[in-house]
Amino acid sequence: MGEHIARRLHADGRRVVLADIAVDQAEQIAKDLSPDGATAVAMDLDVAHRDSFVDALAQIRERWGTPTIVVNNAARTQAADLMTLDEDSFNSVLNTNVNSIFFGCQVFGAAMAEEGFGRIVNMASLAGQNGGTATGAHYAASKGAILTTTKVFARELASAGVTVNAIAPGPHDLPVVKATVPPDKLAAVVAGIPVGKLGDAAFIADTVALLAADNAYFVTGACWDVNGGLYVR
């Protein structure tokens, strides 16, 4: 999903930093987008820790100044049995999925507020709304927390010209979905989607670009659902 988003924003003329703990893959995408590093670079970032965001902000400011767009997309997507889920597994997913959103909004949101403009988009999930379709309870709980965190920072940063919104995708045609859901169960998941097919990640990227636009100032604290009709409200 992150690659689709990065490519879409770069195609719009944005300079892009691809931040990931798996920096090798991020570097490959950045070099593909900008071989000389003029408009796209990769950065090592462990989203489970606040200090990592502080360091990342300092590096970005030194290179290009305070960013105007942040997409908090990092996540651990795992399936697990509810009643035997152990503490370490629970904490590893929550630390990645929730810390990344909270400290991403806190650190970068404050920097954007100083400049009087910013767009933050948090990647939530259908699992945080309906309790999960094919993922573990720890993943669903983390994504529910993201929705609340989005509202908290949207209220805090609105007067400073910074919007904070979430996107809640259902199952999409991505390697992570196929790695999480066993092949013998994926067909049943697709059959249960009212539109009859997995989502297109390119549309999520388009949605991010729309929420990041300069004239998107009147949308904040919102969650945009992209789930094929699995959750209707």
- Give the other-Cβ count within 10 Å of 4's Cβ: 19
The three-point CA angle 114-71-14 to 5° equals: 80
> Do residues 113 and 67 touch, judged by C-beta distance below 8 A?
no
Evaluate whether 168 touches 147 at the Cβ level (below 8 Å): yes
Nearest-10 crossing angle of helices 87-115, 50-64: 30
Would you put residue 139 in left (φ > 0), alpha (ψ -120 to 50) or beta?
A: alpha
Q: How far is CA 178 from CA 28, 40, 210, in A?
A: 22, 28, 27
Measure the CA–CA gap between 200 and 5, rounded to whole angstroms: 12
139 noted as active-site residue: yes
In this structure, the strands spanning 162-169 and 118-123 are parallel
Bridge pairing between strands 16-20 and 118-123:
unpaired
53, 108, 139, 153: which one is catalytic?
Answer: 139
Q: Which residues, listed in sequence order, are joined to residue 17 by a DSSP beta bridge?
A: 41
Residue closest to 33 by CA, chosen among 9, 69, 57: 9
What are the residue numbers of the active site? 139
